[in-house]
Structure formats: structure tokens, C-alpha cells
Amino acid sequence: MSAAERLLCIGGAWVPSLSGEVTEITDPATGDLVGTSSIGGAEDIDRAVEAATRGFGVWSTTPADVRAQIMLRAAALIDERIDRIADLLTREQGKPLPDSRKEIAFGAQVIRYYAEQGRRVEGSLRATAQRNIRSIVSWEPLGVVGAIVPWNYPVDLYAWKVGPALAAGNSVIVKPPVETPLAVGEFVRCFYDAGLPEGVLSDIPGALSAGARLSEHPDIAAITATASTATGKAIMRSAAETMKRVTLELGGHSPFIVLGDADVAAAAKAAARRSFSNAGQICIAVNRILVDARIADDFSAAVAAEAQAIRLGHGINPEVTGGPVTTAAVIAKANAHIDQAVASGAVLRSGGRLAEVDSSLRPELFFEPTVLDQVPVDALVMHEETFGPVVAVHRFDGNSTLDEIAQLANRGDYGLASYVFGDDLDRAWGLAERLHSGGVGVNVNDVSELQAPFGGWKMSGFGRELGPEGLHGMMQQRHVRIHRRHAPA
């Protein structure tokens, strides 16, 4: 394929950054050039705010049905162009092509969902204490919304932010990741090709200065971000100066609890998928497995077998089920966590090193899916997010009460997702209700559902995406209290 070249999208116009800065995007599997992207700064954000302010005046007064029609056309175009977008995503990010297609297809589904949800926003006529008073409560858009999207799921999480913001009538300025901006660029084109008015959506791959300007700009009413906890704290500090509404989906450290009556094979398969999908680079990845000691030997062996069955290679190859990590920093942290855990007494069951791959590939970014067993609770991997293909197994006493198991699972600062596997649904459900996280999966390894809210507790952030809550998070309420001169008889 020929190299892709993308510019900044400012209000629908594709333009170079004012600094002229350009970065090369390389395939993490091969090191080959995939394309180039302009890199925006604070001055480019200012340009986008001007365009977005004009666009908001048009879009916020566009009837909800018309907004929905444009968004539905955009989703249809995404579906039509999925092969091109998925190919770019796999080459710039590394995940296998089926996973890229799944991500993009779900992104289109999110856009369709919010197109319809935007038609269903309801106000209300409230009861009053006086016969000559009427109280009308309505939902209104916020204005210009800023969004920050990470590199691990750049298209999917783009849709999570843009879908509800547009459906609510806001204009949006997005800072996508500089590591993976190419598929996102094609995603944006679908909106303008569908008839989105100028100024309504801007897309600026940018340096730190661009993100800082988004969160501090006085004419941006809200900011929504998926980022590290450290970045989320910086956004909060900056946004506080202008009292922006802030929605943050931050780091995670998800426990996967295997009760003594669980189906070992099914639980191991589910844990391995959620541990090693996208090379572990996912906020709701399984980071630590807490397993009943009575079944731990069988379970640990089963998870290790699942890990060893993953075929690593270039994601374009249809036989490949696992790709490279996206950045070298992922492997550095994985090695640090593995070394510290082993030094603390953990046993390495599988992986733990760079993988042997085809000579045409870039070996320094391929890492074997790693299973650590008998990991002590104070090991780094048990409370720090690796964000890589490493999972730690800790064994708990089979006679532990639900409160004791929950206390073990709730250790740490994060609360994004938790998982429980067990055949006794009453017991599994009872444990789920004791877990301190925004989402809990019982006998499933995914807590995201399009029609339900997604978000974290504790240091994993606040605010919710997806579901009706995602739409209302992009809106504000207005109360109009009316005095009627002549009360009804």
C-alpha cells in the first residue's frame, strides 16, 4: 500500500499545522512507513475553537432529526470503508485485522445508537405550587466540547466521545493520538462526506501543548478524555480555571476472580482473552487473577496453555491472533514488573521474554504473552497497571468468605472493571456487589455494553460514556419558570 498522508482537520478543512511539524507513522510489526501526519499545537487549537464556535451556532439549531440523518449517513460510510480504515489501523497500531474490523464496526454502531438517542431527548413540564406558574425543564447542548483519545483503541473511543457530543448538538474538537492518527483521519472524513456542516468537528493530532490548550481554553465548555491517571489529574487542574465539565476514563487494574466452583477451562479462556487481547494494551484488561487455591494448579496451567496458543505476527496475516505492542515503553514496563515479581517469589509459567518471530518483522516489539503464578500481593504487578501482555495469578484460601475475597480484590487505587467467574450465581453475584469498580462482569470478560454506562470509580475517573448517560453527560439542563397573568379557572 502507498503511504498515507494526513493533515489537521480544522472545521472540515484539511490544513497543515502552523508550525509545519510532521511525524512519520511506522508499522510496529515491521518498522515500515505507513504514513505521515501533521502535528498541531496550541495555536492550531485556537483556530479550531474559532471554527467550532461558528459551527456550534449552526449545529445546535439543526433539528435533531437532521442531525441524526447526517450521523446515520456517516455510520454507513464507515461501514462501506471499513476495509481501508481497518488496514490502516492494523498497520499503525499493531492489532490483528479482525480486531481492527471489530473496533471500527462497533464505532459505527455507537454513532448509529447516538444518532437515534439524540432524537429521544425529552424535556418535562413540572408540577408547581401555584396555579399561575409553569415550570419547563429542557436539555441543551454544552457548546464546544474538547476530547482526547488514546492510541490503544483510537477509532472505538473516538466514537464513544464524538457520537454523544454531536447527537446532543455540540461542536467537537478532538486530539487523537500522534501514534495512531491515520485510521482516525479516515473516520473523520466519513462525517464530512455525510454532510456534516463546516466547523462542527475538528481533528488535531497534537503534542502536549495541544492537549493543555484544550483543557484550559476559556471557550471550550467541556472536556472528555481517556488517558492515564496522571494525565487525568493534569486535565482536572487545568480545566478547573474555567470550571469546565470534565469526563475522565483513566487507568485500571482489573481483578479476575475465579471461585472454587468455576468452569476452569471456560474461565481460563476468558481470562486469557481479556489479558492478552491487543497485547494487553486495554484499560479493562485482566491485570491480576485471584483464584481459589483448590483449583489454582489446573487453572494456572490452563491459562498458560491459552497464552502459548496465541500466534504472534503481523496483524495483516489472517493466521495471526496476536500482534506487537505499539511502543517500546510497554515492553520496558512489562520486563520491570516480571523481574520484580519473580524476585519476590512468583513463578513464571509462560512467556517473559521477547518473542521469536519471522525475520521480516521487528522483533523488539513482539513480547510473549506472560503468565506469572503464585504472585505475592505486594508485587508491583499486583497493584500497578502493566498495560502490556502480562497477567499475575494470586491464590487465595478456598475457605475465604466473600468479604475477604472482596477485600483482596479491592486493594489498590483503581476501580474501572472487575470480573467474577463461578457456577453458583448467588455467590458470584453476592461477590460482584462487594466490588469497588464501575463495571463488573459475572461469567463474562467484558463490562462494556452500548446501552449501559461505562466508567470508573476511585482513581479510574468519573463521568460515564455509552448508554443514555453518555448523551446526558454532553448536555445541561435549563429550567424556565413562567408566570401566567391569568390563572386557569
Q: What is the pLDDT of residue 3?
A: 81
Residue 58 resides in a domain: yes
Same domain, 277 and 386: yes
Instruction: Tell me how far the alpha carbon of residue 484 is from its chain's centroid.
Output: 49
Q: How far is the C-alpha of 171 from the C-alpha of 74, rounded, in Å?
A: 16
Residue 389 resides in a domain: yes
Same domain, 40 and 138: yes
Of 471, 403, 442, 415, residue with least CA distance to 67: 471
User: Residue 308: which CATH number?
Assistant: 3.40.309.10
Same domain, 295 and 391: yes
Whether residue 301 is predicted with pLDDT greater than 70 in this model: the reply is: yes
Of 283, 306, 368, 385, catalytic = 283
Same domain, 241 and 260: no
What is the count of structural domains for the chain? 2
pLDDT tens, residue by residue, 143-199: 999 999 999 999 999 999 999 999 999 999 999 999 999 999 999 999 999 999 999
Of 92, 103, 179, 249, catalytic = 249
Domain around 344: 254-442
User: Residue 55: which CATH number?
Assistant: 3.40.605.10
Whether residue 413 is predicted with pLDDT greater than 60 in this model: the reply is: yes
Whether residue 489 is predicted with pLDDT greater than 80 in this model: the reply is: no
Active site residue 283: yes
Residue 486 resides in a domain: no
Same domain, 356 and 399: yes
Q: What mean pLDDT is reported for the chain? A: 97
Same domain, 9 and 88: yes
Instruction: Measure Cα distances from 165 to 56, 59, 68, 142, 471 in Å.
Output: 11, 11, 12, 9, 7
Same domain, 401 and 351: yes
Angle at 183 between CA 216 and CA 6, to 5 degrees: 75
Residue 399 resides in a domain: yes
The answer to whether 427 and 403 have CB atoms below 8 angstroms apart is: no
pLDDT tens, residue by residue, 22-52: 999 999 999 999 999 999 999 999 999 999 9
Residue 489 resides in a domain: no
The phi, psi pair for 59, rounded to 5°, reads: -70, -40
Mean pLDDT of 376-388: 97
pTM: 0.96
Contacts of 335 (CB under 8 A, 6+ apart): none
The answer to whether 212 and 238 have CB atoms below 8 angstroms apart is: yes
